Amino acid sequence: MEEEQENGVKEENVRYRGWKAMPYVLGNGTFEKLGTLGTSSNLLVYLTTVFNMHSVTATTVLNVWSGTANIATLFGAFLSDAYFGRYYTIAVASIASFLVGFVSDKQNPPSLFLRRHVGTDRSLALVQGMAFVTLTAALPGLDHRPCSAGGGACQEPSLWRRAFLFSGLGLMVVGAGGIRPCNLAFGADQFDPKTEAGKKGIDSFFIWYYFTFTIAMMISATFIIYVQSNVSWAVGLAIPAGLMFLSCVLFFVGTPMYVRVRPEGSSLTGLAQVAVAAFRKRRLRLPEGGAAAAALFNPVISANTLNTRLPHTDRFRFLDKAAIATSKDEIEPDGLASDPWRLCSLQQVEEVKCLLGVIPIWSTGILYFACESQQYNYTVLAALQSDRHLGKHFVIPAGSFTVFSLLAFALWIPIYTWVVVPWLRKQTGRREGMTLIQRMGVGIVLSVVGLVISAMVEVRRRRTALVYPTTGKSEHGGDISSMSGLWLVIQLAVTGISGAFNTIGQNEFYYKQFPENMRSVAGSLLFCAMAIAHYVSGFLVTVVHIYTTNSGGAGQDWLAEDLNKGKLDSYYLLIAALGVINFFYFLICARRYKYKGSVGMVGLTLTAAIPALQPPDCSTAPGAPANCDGAGPSGSLVALLIVSLGLLTVAAGGIRSCSIPFGVDQFDPTTETGQRDIGSFFNWYYFAVTIAALVALTAIVYVQNSVSWALGLGIPAALMLVSVALFFLGTRIYVYVLPEGSVFTGVVQVLVAAYRKRGLRLPSPSNKDRSGQVEMYDPPPTRFTVTKLPLTQQFRHNKLTILHSTRSTGICNFGLHIHACRFLNKAAIVEDGDLLPDGGGAANPWRLCSVQKVEELKCLIRITPVWAAGILFYLSTAQQSTLSVLQALKMDRHLGPRFQIPPGSLSIISMLSLTLFLPLYDRVLVPAAARVTGREGGITLLQRIGVGMAFSVLSVVVAALVERKRRVAALLRGGPGGVAPISVMWLAPQLVLLGVAEAFNVIGQIEFFYKQFPENMRSVAGAIGFLSFAVASYLSSAMVAVVRRHTSGGPGGHSWMEDDINLGRVDYFYYLIAAMGVVNLAYFLVCAHLYRYKGGESAGRSQDGGRAALELQPQGKP
C-alpha cells in the first residue's frame, strides 16, 4: 500500500481490495494450515505408538503444550495491536516459524479446529517438529525402540529424548503467538466495513476462511497422514515444511494489495486508565435519567482513529464515573483530557464495557472446547481398537478418522451459506439469518448430542470386543473390536457441524464486538479459551483417571490404556453432562448480553435505520470512503478459487505426465536421426533426473540441515524459478502438438459401435468368391502427428483380404485372406446410411468408427499385459529400497572414526550406479549391440525391460544373501536388537544391481509406453508408469501385512517382518520377492512373445500412401 496508508494519515486514501486480496490471504492461510496440520494431525498416534508414551501421558503433555501455545497468542495480539501492526506481526512470525528448523513451522494454525486432530491444537510440529523427527531417524542417540511383537513392555523415552521433545515444543510457541491471532483480523481488514458489499464480504470471509481450513485439514488427515504412516515420517514431515514455505511466499507476493491498519498504541493502557479513573472518582454520584450521557466527557473522535463512535449504555455503570468531568479536570486545546488517568472519554469507557460484556460469553467456550478436545482424543484411541479395514488390504489410519468431521464441516458450510442463511433471512428478516449468539448456542447443543452418540457407539464397540471374536491386537496391546470403525463417523459428523456453528460464530462474534483497535486481541481470545480448555482437559483426564482407579479397584479405570477394560462411555456421558450445564450458563449470558453499540429497544430501532449503528457491524470508522473498490467475485467464484487452492497438488500430475512426451515431440520421428535421438532422449532425460536427485539428496539436504532452512529451501525455489524461465525462453523453438479432444471418447465409441453391430457376420474363410466382401471405413489421418495404423492380426478369428483403398472415401475393401477382428473390427464395417451423402465421413461416430480408432484401442489392449508385469517390478524395487534402510540401521555405518552414513542416504548408491551406467549404455553398449543385431537400438524395448527384470531378481537374491550374513553376525554379537559388526557397504552390490535394473527396465518402460501408445495419448502414456508405481505401493503394503500375519507362528513366535529385523527373517522375505520376480519374468516373456509392435509386422507406408509409421517394430531379421 501507499506510505500514507501505512502511516494512517488519511483513511480516504485507503483502497479496500476486498476479495481481490483473498487469493493471497486465503492462499497463505491454506498452505500454512497444510504445513501445520500435516505434522500435527497424526501426533497422538506418533507419541503413543512410535514414541512409546502412555496415552494418558501423551494426552496430558499435548494438552499442556497446546494451552501454552494458545496463551502466547494473547501476547502476540497485544504487540500487533499496540506496536507492530498485523502485517508485520504475521510476516515476522511466519519467517520465525519457518526458521526454527521446521519445528515452529507446525505451530501457526490460526484456527481453533486444530485441536480436533487427535485432541490437541494442531500447532504442534509433530512431536519435535520436522527437524526433531528427522533427527530421530538419522541419529541413533535419539532413536527410540519399538515395542516387541511378543507383547513385552514398551520402553518409554529417556529423559534426554523427552528434553529434546520439550525443547522443540517450546520453540514452536514463538511462531504460534504471532500468526494465530492476526490471520483472521488481517483478512477482514481487506474489506470496507462501511459498505454493504464490505459487510457481506466480512461475513462470507469468516465462513470461507474456515472452509479453506477444513479442506487443508482433510488433505492433512488423509494424504499426509498416509505418507507418515505408510511411507516415512521424514517424508511426511518434509511435505508440510515445503507447504509452509509456499505459504510464506504467497503472503509476501500479495503485499502491494494489502490494507495495513496502523497500530494505535497499547489498548491495555486505555483499559487501565478507565479502571484507575473510575476508582479515583468512586465517591462521585452519577447523573440520573436522560441527562446521564450528556453529562459525561465525550469529545470528538480523532479522524485517524480506527474505532467507531459508541453510544452510552447502562451496563457496568460504575465505570461511567471515569468520564465525569470535574473542576479539577483540565481539557487541552485539542479537546482531550490533560490527565487521562483521571478523566477518560465516554468512548474509552464503552470500549471497556465491550470487553467486560464479552467475557461471560467467552467463558462458555472453554468448556465447549474442552468437551470437543476430549471427544477427538478418545475417538482416535477408539479407532485404534476398532476394525479400520476398508476392503481386504486398506486400513484407515486412526489419525485420519477426523477427516470425517472435517468432511461434514466442509459440506455443511456451503449448505449453510447458500441454503440455510437465505431461508433464515426470509424468516427472521436478519441479513445473517440468525444472531451470532444463536449460532454459538446451536453449536453447543450439537456438541452435547455428539458426545451422547459417542457414548452409545463406545458401548457397542466395547461389548463387541468383549463378547465376540476380536480381529487382533492394537499397538497398546488391547483387543481390536470387530465393530467397524465407520460407526465413529456419526459422532464425528455431528461434531464437525457443531464446530461450523460454534467456532466460526465465536470468531466472528469477538471480531465484531471488540473495539476496532483490539481486533488482534479479539482473534487471540479464541485461542485463550482453547488454552484454558486444554488445561481443563488435562486436569479432567487426570482426576477421572485417579478417582475411578482408586474407587473402583483394578480394571475399573474409566480411561484405561486398554479401552476394553475401561468405561469410556461413562466418561463421554460425564462430559455431556458438563456440556448441558455449560449450555444453560450460556443461555443466561446470552439473555443478558447487549451487542456493541446497542441501547435497548431504542438502540435496536436505530440500528435498523442507521447502518453505522447496526449491532454486528459497528466496526467502521468516520471518514472512510463511501464505496468499495469493486464488490469482489461471487460466492461461486470464491468457492472455485478455494477448491483450486486445495487441489494445487494435482499440478504434479500435469508435469510428470507431459514433460517426457513434450521433449520427444521436438524430434522428427520420420527420419533416421529423429528416431535415434528419441531413443537417446529417454536415457539422458532419466540421467538428468538422477543427477538432480543426487544433488538434492546431498548438497541441498546438507545446506538445509547444517546451514539454514531458509537458504536450503530458497535454493530449490530459485532453481524452480530458473526452470520456469528456461521453459518459457524456449517457447519460440518448440514444436507444439495440438490436442484433438478426448481420446477416451474414441475408445468408448469403438466399443459401442462394435456392440451395436454385433449381429453382423464377417465372411467365412470357406467362401472362395467375392460374395463375402465387406467394406471397412479407413479414412486417411487428419493430423500429421498421427501414425496411420494398418489392420493387425490380433484379436481376430476370420480372414479378410484388402482389395484396394479409396482415398476419396477412405473405404477399404477387404476380401478373404487377411485376419480380422470378430468383435472390434465390426465397428469399422460400413453399412447403408453410415456415411454422409457427400462422402465426408461417418454420419454417426457411435455407429461407425475408422480402422485407425479400432487399431488404437487394440494398442491399448496389447499394452495392458506388459504394463501389468511392471507392477511387480516396482513392488520389488520399493520393498528392497525400504528394507535396505532397515538393514543399514543394524549395520556398522561408519566411514572413518567420526562420520556415519545416514541410512536414508544409501539410495544414493543405486542412483550413482544408474547415473554411471546410462552413459556407458548409450555410448558403448547400444552401438556394440547394434553391430551384432543389426537393430538401431541394439535390443528391442521389450528385451530391455526383460533384462531389467532379470537384474531386479538378481539384486533381490544378493540382498537375501547379504541379509543372512548380517543377521547371523548381529545375533552372534549382541542378540536381538544388536548391530552387526559388518560394514554397511555390503549393501552396495544389491543397490548397484538395483540401479542397473532401473536403467534397463524403468527407462525401457517409459520409452515403450510412449512409442506404443497412440500419438494423441502420449501424455497418458507418460502417466501409465506412475500408475504402475501407485498400484505397486498399495500391493507392497498389503504384501507386508499378509506376510507378517501368516508367518507370525515362526520360531519364538516371531514373523518374518519384525520391528527388530534381527528377530525376523528378512532374507526369507527377499527370497519370496525373488520367487515372485521369477514368475513375473516368465509371465513377461509370454506377453513379449505374443506382443506385436504398433504398426503391424512392417514399417512400410500405410495403404493410403501416407507417411511412414513411426518405426517401432525392430529392423532386421524378423
Q: In angstroms, rounded to a whole number, what is the distance separating the alpha carbons of residues 527 and 180?
A: 8
pLDDT at 639 over 70: no
Output the CA–CA distances (angstroms, integers) from residue 488 to 114, 345, 388, 445, 446, in the order listed: 19, 55, 10, 19, 16
Averaged pLDDT, 600-609? 30
How many domains is the chain built from? 2
Assess if residue 751 is contained within a domain: no
Residue range 1062-1078: mean pLDDT, rounded: 87
pLDDT score at 841: 78
**What is the model's pLDDT at position 108?**
34
Over residues 1018-1047, mean pLDDT: 74
Whether 687 has a pLDDT exceeding 70, the answer reads: no
Residues 6+ apart with CB under 8 A from 540: 370, 374, 575
- Residue 164 and residue 1045: Cα distance in Å, rounded? 35
Question: Which of 372, 541, 545 has its CA nearest to residue 451?
Answer: 372
Give Cβ neighbours of residue 173 (< 8 Å, ≥ 6 apart).
68, 69, 72, 107
pLDDT tens for 846-879 read 888 888 888 878 878 888 888 888 888 888 887 8
952 against 1098, higher pLDDT? 952
Among 207-221, 632-646, 740-754, 991-1005, the range scoring the smallest mean pLDDT is 632-646
User: Residue 1110: what pLDDT?
Assistant: 29
Q: What is the DSSP letter of 804?
A: E
pLDDT of residue 602: 30
Q: What is the pLDDT of residues 187-224, one digit of tens each?
A: 777 777 777 777 777 766 766 666 676 666 667 666 77
Mean pLDDT (the chain, rounded): 69
For the chain, the farthest-separated pair of C-alpha atoms sits apart, in whole angstroms, at 128
Q: If pLDDT is split at 50, 70 and 90, which confidence band does 954 have? A: very high
pLDDT at 925: 84
Residue pair 458/569 in contact (Cβ under 8 Å)? The answer is yes
Q: Are 1088 and 946 in contact (CB under 8 A)?
A: yes
Q: What is the percent of the chain where pLDDT is above 70? A: 55
Tell me: pLDDT of 124 over 70: no
- 571/603: higher pLDDT: 571
Residue 139: inside a domain? yes
On whether residue 861 sits in a domain, the answer given is no
pLDDT (0 to 100) of residue 117 = 32
Among 126-135, 201-210, 394-403, 693-702, which range has the highest average pLDDT?
A: 394-403
Mean pLDDT of the region 564-587: 88
| Confidence at residue 211, expressed as pLDDT on a 0 to 100 scale | 66
More confident residue, 1065 or 218: 1065
CA-based Rg of the chain, rounded to a whole angstrom? 35
Instruction: Report whether 558 contacts 566 (CB < 8 A).
Output: yes
For the chain, percent of residues with pLDDT exceeding 90: 2
3-state helix, strand, coil in the chain (%, to 5): 65, 5, 30
pLDDT category at 134 given cuts 50, 70, 90 is very low
Task: Give the pLDDT confidence score for residue 716 in this predicted structure.
Answer: 63
In the listed set 620, 646, 672, which residue is the last one of a domain according to the structure?
646
Beta-strand pair 894-895/774-777: unpaired
Residue with the larger pLDDT of the pair 615 and 360: 360
In this predicted structure, what is the pLDDT of residue 905? Answer: 65
The helix or strand, by DSSP H or E, that contains position 1004, with its residue range, turns out to be helix 988-1012
Binned at pLDDT 50, 70 and 90, residue 359 comes out as: confident
Helices 346-384 & 568-592, crossing angle to 10 degrees? 160
Tell the burial category of 127 from Cβ atoms under 10 Å away from its Cβ (0-12, 13-18, 19+). Answer: buried
Residue 87 lies in a domain: yes
**Identity (one letter) of the amino acid at 1055?**
S
Q: 396: domain range?
A: 15-646
Band the pLDDT of 543: cuts 50, 70, 90.
confident
- Give pTM, 2 decimals: 0.43
Task: Say if CB 44 and CB 58 are below 8 A apart.
Answer: yes
Give whichever of 188-197, 577-586, 640-649, 1054-1063 has the largest mean pLDDT: 577-586
The reported pLDDT for the residue numbered 821 is: 46
Distance CA 629, CA 827 (A): 59
* pLDDT at residue 600, as a whole number: 31
Between 3 and 744, residue with greater pLDDT: 744
- Is the pLDDT at 103 greater than 60? The verdict is no
The listed range with the strongest mean pLDDT (185-194, 225-234, 1094-1103) is 185-194
Condensed to tens digits (0 to 9), the pLDDT of residues 154-197 reads 666 677 766 666 665 565 556 666 666 676 677 777 777 777 77
Position 970 confidence tier, pLDDT thresholds 50, 70, 90: confident
Once rounded to an integer, what is the mean pLDDT over residues 1011-1032?
69
* Mean pLDDT confidence for 1090-1117: 42
Q: Is the pLDDT of residue 1023 over 70?
A: no
Going by C-alpha positions, the residue among 436, 435, 507, 431 that lies closest to residue 185 is 507
More confident residue, 618 or 389: 389
- Beta-bridge mates of residue 434: none
Q: Is a pLDDT exceeding 60 seen at residue 606?
A: no
pLDDT at 335: 73
| Domain end position, chosen among 613, 646, 679 | 646
Q: Tell me: the pLDDT tens digits for 747-775? A: 888 888 888 888 887 655 444 444 456 67
Position 811 in a domain: no
| pLDDT attached to residue 631 | 41
**Does any domain span residue 746?**
no
In a domain, 295, yes or no: yes
Q: Which range among 273-287, 553-567, 980-994 shows the weakest confidence by mean pLDDT?
A: 553-567
- Provide the grid cell at 185: 483480523
DSSP secondary structure, 604-624, as one string: HHHHHH-GGG-GGG----TT-
pLDDT in tens, 437-456: 888 889 999 999 999 998 99
- What is the per-residue pLDDT for 897? 74
CATH number assigned to the domain comprising residue 911? 1.20.1250.20
Band the pLDDT of 561: cuts 50, 70, 90.
confident
Amino acid at residue number 143: D
Q: How confident is the model at residue 32 (pLDDT cuts 50, 70, 90)?
A: low
- Confidence class of residue 1020 from pLDDT cuts 50, 70 and 90? low
pLDDT digits (tens, 9 = 90+) for 779-835: 876 554 445 555 554 444 333 433 333 333 344 333 332 343 457 888 888 888 788
pLDDT band at 695 (very low <50, low <70, confident <90, very high): low
Q: At which of 646, 661, 686 does a domain end? A: 646
pLDDT number for residue 932: 83
pLDDT in tens, 456-509: 999 888 888 888 887 777 766 678 888 888 888 898 889 888 888 888 788 778
Count of Cβ atoms closer than 10 Å to residue 561 Cβ: 16
DSSP label at 417? I
Residue 152 within a domain:
yes
pLDDT of residue 1075: 92
| Residue 371 banded pLDDT, cuts 50, 70, 90 | confident
